[in-house]
Amino acid sequence: MTPFGIRMRKLRQERGVTQKEMANALRVSSAYLSALEHGRRGQPTWAMIQSILNYFNLIWDEADELVRLADMSNPRVIVDTAGLNPKATLLANRLAEEIARMDEARLDAMLTLLDRAVRVQADPSS
């Protein structure tokens, strides 16, 4: 599942809506919604995101969160390191090799490490 798919499923469950009901309202197949939730369909289009936001009546922070999750839910990521430091290429290749073997704790640790590195780069005094 993708971060977007997890959130969309949670929204459906919180509101007691089935995939079939939501699919009918959005005029898509329930198979499409299932694929979207499970990350087998890639990122939703902007029009689909807008339809989902309207369906759940999401505004402000909740809408921003769902849009952000959609942006971060591409299950087939391509990392272009051309022109970057050779270590960037090494990092991208090592991650591609290792990510399938990482458990949830290791994934969380890697995300925390990346978040820290980004914060330090943005504000070296922290």
| pLDDT tens-digit map of 28-47 | 999 999 999 888 887 899 99
Q: Which long-range contacts link 60-67 to residues 24+ away (Cβ below 8 Å)?
A: 65/7, 66/4, 66/7, 66/8
Q: How far is CA 78 from CA 81, 93, 117, in A?
A: 10, 11, 21
pLDDT(120) > 90: no
When pLDDT is cut at 50, 70 and 90, the band that residue 126 belongs to is low
The domain ranges of the chain are 3-71, 86-122
DSSP 43: S
As a whole number, the mean pLDDT across the chain is 92
Distance of CA 35 to the CA centre of its chain: 14
* CA-to-CA dists, residue 12 to 17, 21, 50, 110, angstroms: 5, 10, 16, 30
Measured at the alpha carbon of residue 2, what is the angle toward residues 88 and 74, in degrees to the nearest 5? 50
pLDDT class for 122, splitting at 50, 70, 90?
A: confident
Task: Return the pLDDT at 89.
Answer: 94
**Superfamily of segment(s) 3-71:** lambda repressor-like DNA-binding domains (1.10.260.40)
**The pLDDT value given to residue 41:** 82
pLDDT band with cut points at 50, 70 and 90 for residue 76: confident
In whole angstroms, give the CA distance from residue 64 to residue 37. 18
